[in-house]
Amino acid sequence: MSRIVLASASPRRRELLSRFPIEFEVRPVDIDEDPGIGHDPQIVARRLARLKAEAARLIDETSPILAADTIVWFEGRSIGKPGDADEAWAMLQMLRGKIHEVVTAVAFMPEGRRSAIIRHPVTRVRLRDFSDAEIESTIARGEPFDKAGGYAIQDEVLRPIEAYSGCYCNVVGLPLWETLSVLRKGGVRVEGGRFLPECRECPYVQDVNATFVT
């Protein structure tokens, strides 16, 4: 098995994938990620993850390729990454205290193949009703600008989440159990891994005897 190509620039996806005992290298691809308006977020996430894998395949004809795309969906539209402080402020004010969905599609293209195995777990998230001062603080720290929805579920300072239902890692950006599933289905032997404590309660859990570490 060749080294896996991770077709993503996300440091969070890189950190999560490194929890598996596999070799990979990061090779981001550039595609049009505009999801459009009024479309099913699951279809959009799957399409964009597949397009990323296909773009990586055009560059590398043989290596196994893993790609992913995360959609934050609120009231019928995709909420992307804020471009500046004003957008981050408006986005966090809009989402606080409310429920939205996060879909991360994971696409794995096995070695030498051009078709992808795709999974797309959905997590429902309710943000807590944080204050204007807390929004100002997280913007000052620069936290929102590389994250869809303008927040990170793992942010220990803002602690934005009141409750969620589904896969925790899905909101971080790479659902570990579903990634394990597509890798194994694509012929990659993955023995074990260092799962997050939250993975123990994940609805997609595959091995209750896995190692759970922070």
CB 171 within 8 A of CB 196: no
Q: Catalytic pick from 32, 34, 60, 69?
A: 69
Q: Is 84 a catalytic residue?
A: no
- 156 phi, psi to nearest 5 deg: -80, -10
What contacts 188, CB < 8 A, 6 or more positions away? 1, 4, 22, 64, 110
Secondary structure class of 98 (helix, strand, coil): coil
DSSP result, 109-176:
E-TT-SS-EEE--EEEEEE----HHHHHHHHHTTGGGGSGGG--TT-TTT--EEEEES-HHHHHT--H
CB 74 within 8 A of CB 59: no
Name which of 78, 93, 29 is nearest 56 in CA terms: 29
Question: Which element (helix H / strand E) includes 50?
Answer: helix 41-59
> How many Cβ atoms are within 10 Å of 88's Cβ, its own excluded?
22
What contacts 58, CB < 8 A, 6 or more positions away? none
**Catalytic residue IDs:** 69
